[in-house]
Amino acid sequence: MLKKLIIILLLMLPCLSVYAQKSLLNQARNKTRKVEREIKRSKRDFDKVGSMFSSQKKEITEEESLSDTIIWEKKRYIPKSGLVNDYAYLFRSIHGAQQQVKFKNTKDLNKIVWDSAANKYYNRLDKINAIDENHVVLGWHPYWMKNEFKDYKYNLLSMIAYFSYDVNPLNGGYNDPEAIKDWRSTAMIDSAKNHGVKVLLTVTNYGKEQNRQFFSDKDVWNSLIDSLKVLVTARNGDGLDLNFEQIPAANRNDYTDFVKKLRSKMGDSYIITLQVPAFNNNNAIDFKALDPYINYFIVQGYDYSYVECNGTPSPVSPLHSINTDCPSIVNTYDYCIRNGMNPAKSILGMPSYGTEWTLAGNSWNAKARFERYITYDDVMSEYNINYQPFYDAVSGSTYFLVDQGNSTRLVWFESQQSLDSKFQWALDHDMKGAAIWALGYDGRQSGIWNAVATNFGVDPLQEIFPIGYDNGQLYSIMASFQNHRRSIGIGVVIILYFFIIGLFVSLLDWRVREIFFQNLTYRAVFAGVIIFLGAMAVFLISGGSASLFPLLIGLLIGALVVYLITTHYISYRDKLP
């Protein structure tokens, strides 16, 4: 029995070896494909960087900016391979080393960059000044920010949500008359519209009891919707931003029904966004049912400091948490996806503020006391000048630690680096864009908007296309000849056809035959003309890509046939009496 088992194992060894080799080969192929993809990606990035820093550039002068057409006299393009490349020196000698390229002037045309390898032209933006059309960036304008709107980065915003219409749950009216008075007159809306930014009105209702009261009376729904429609229409607004927090689980279907009614009365032309709280939403948002009526779901990636976890002050906006039970952006997002949120309709909300804490000692585990919320502008002006910020890789947030003797000051905030990592994460998870709470909190600091521009802005290299070239008269003639070579080739075939027919018809006359076959010069001339026209026709019709080998074989066979016919005719004639 043992011998049989050994024999069976020995017989199976080759099969197992083949299987193992196949498995290893498959793994190797997969690794190779990954490496090849990385090489291709790196090559694209390298080419892009090469284009960015190419020496072949043209700055648009102030005088040229007033013209409708920009003319760039530049080094002539020579392909990397082919006939022109093989005879580049002769080509430049005939047509010149320079050429003029013409472009249509536009307000965004800043610096023209030529990618000589691919022969492509780009408009290089020194500063990213617009959001990519595939992304959305929203910012909230709190009414108390008043005239801060004059410094907003409108070119890096798709929408501004005016904050806010705070709902009176008993009648659908508003709780803050000052905010609505400002909505009716603020120049922020006009400024946003002038910059092509859409304007929404944020609707807020906070607290379980307030939401329970509101959803219990559908007449209040109608009153609220009518009031909102009047306000939005009066300022030519573009839609509404809903921020209902701490909705009781029992009102889940009521919230969906309210949004349906809101969409029905507002119409499809208006934008409706819906904010998803960072936590404690009591499963009150039915993503699948709401999806047809909502343009964007804004996932609040901030306000996590409210939650005490592990006994230490948490960041305002942690991407991950060491303790998986602690709330974080990833946990919130995963919850939303599991419950039916469409990632392509989602926007990640980020804070432009931080938190200050005092630790009773010099340890992270020391008792912490919350001091205040602090704007990004104040963080930069009060801390960034004198202290070194630290980046926490787990939460993806930035902090300052300031030794105060018997205590330590801890400041959590979102820097350009931390925002960049979170925006990248959002894009990797197919989110549509970002939202910033709140506009004006950044002052004139550039960090937040640098991160926005890097991740959601247009590509700094925008491909542009010439509207014309001036290569000289001779080049134009040759280019025209090249463009119509097939038609010319067909014409040569027709000429060749009638030339050969004419020759055969002429040879029917014995006197022509006498001269033709007795005179070698005539035969050579006729053969040369036929060969020349035939070769030209093949070259023109094929575009120069046809192989010369079949043509040479044909010429040899033709020469042999002509030789045999001529020899036979002369021999026949010599035998005549």
Residues 83 and 200 in one domain: no
Residue 130 covered by a domain: no
| Three-state secondary-structure class, residue 167 | strand
- The DSSP annotation for 207-270 comes to SHHHHHHHHT-HHHHHHHHHHHHHHHHHTT--EEEEEEES--GGGHHHHHHHHHHHHHHH-TTS
Whether residue 190 is found in the same domain as residue 293? yes
Q: What is the pLDDT of residue 190?
A: 98
234 and 269 part of one domain: yes
Domain boundary among 392, 424, 459: 459
Q: Are 99 and 471 in contact (CB under 8 A)?
A: yes
Residue 183 shares a structural domain with residue 222: yes
**Domain identity same for 449 and 428:** yes
Give the three-state DSSP class for 472: coil
pLDDT of residue 25: 47
Q: How would you classify the pairing of strands 111-115 and 120-124? A: antiparallel
Residues 6+ apart with CB under 8 A from 449: 153, 156, 442
Residue 34 has a pLDDT of: 47
Q: For residue 297, what pLDDT is reported?
A: 99
388 assigned to some structural domain:
no
Q: Please tell me the predicted confidence (pLDDT) of residue 98.
A: 84
Tell me whether residue 242 is in a domain.
yes
Same domain, 73 and 201: no
Which amino acid is residue 174, in one-letter code? Y
Residues 35 and 102 in one domain: no
Number of domains, the chain? 4
What's the rounded Cα separation, in Å, for the pair 570 and 517? 7
Q: Would you say 538 and 553 are in contact if contact means Cβ atoms under 8 Å apart? A: no
Where in the sequence is the domain holding 42, given as residue range(s)? 1-53
Instruction: Report yes or no on 569 lying in a domain.
Output: yes
Is 326 a domain residue?
Answer: yes
Could you list the pLDDT tens digit for every one of the 577 residues in the chain?
544 445 444 445 444 444 444 454 455 454 444 444 444 444 444 445 444 445 588 888 878 878 888 888 888 888 887 767 777 777 777 777 888 899 898 877 888 898 888 889 898 876 677 999 999 999 999 999 999 999 999 999 999 999 999 999 999 999 999 999 999 999 999 999 999 999 999 999 999 999 999 999 999 999 999 999 999 999 999 999 999 999 999 999 999 999 999 999 999 999 999 999 987 668 999 999 999 999 999 999 999 986 667 678 889 999 998 777 788 999 999 999 999 999 999 999 999 999 999 999 988 888 999 999 999 999 999 999 999 999 999 999 999 999 999 999 999 999 999 999 999 999 999 999 999 999 999 999 999 999 999 999 998 888 888 988 776 666 556 666 667 777 777 887 788 777 778 777 776 776 766 676 666 676 677 777 777 777 777 776 776 555 556 666 766 776 666 667 667 666 666 665 6
Joined together, the tokens standing for residue 362 give: 């010099």
pLDDT of 544: 57
Q: Would residue 409 count as lying in a domain?
A: no
Q: 311 and 216 share a domain? A: yes
Q: Say whether both 48 and 64 belong to one domain.
A: no
From start to end of 134-234, where are the E strands? 136-142, 159-166, 198-206
Please state, in angstroms and rounded to a whole number, the distance separating the CA atoms of residues 372 and 369.
10
Is 238 among the domain residues?
yes
Contact 179, 143 (CB under 8 A): yes
Same domain, 48 and 68: no
Do 174 and 272 reside in the same domain of the chain? yes
Q: In the prediction, which pLDDT does 531 show? A: 74
Q: How far apart are CA 539 and CA 535, in angstroms?
A: 6
Phi/psi region, residue 375 (left: phi>0; alpha: psi -120 to 50; beta: rest), is: beta
Q: Which long-range contacts (CB under 8 A, 24 or more apart) does 331-338 make?
A: 332/276, 332/278, 332/279, 332/299, 332/300, 332/301, 333/299, 333/429, 336/276, 336/287, 336/297, 336/299
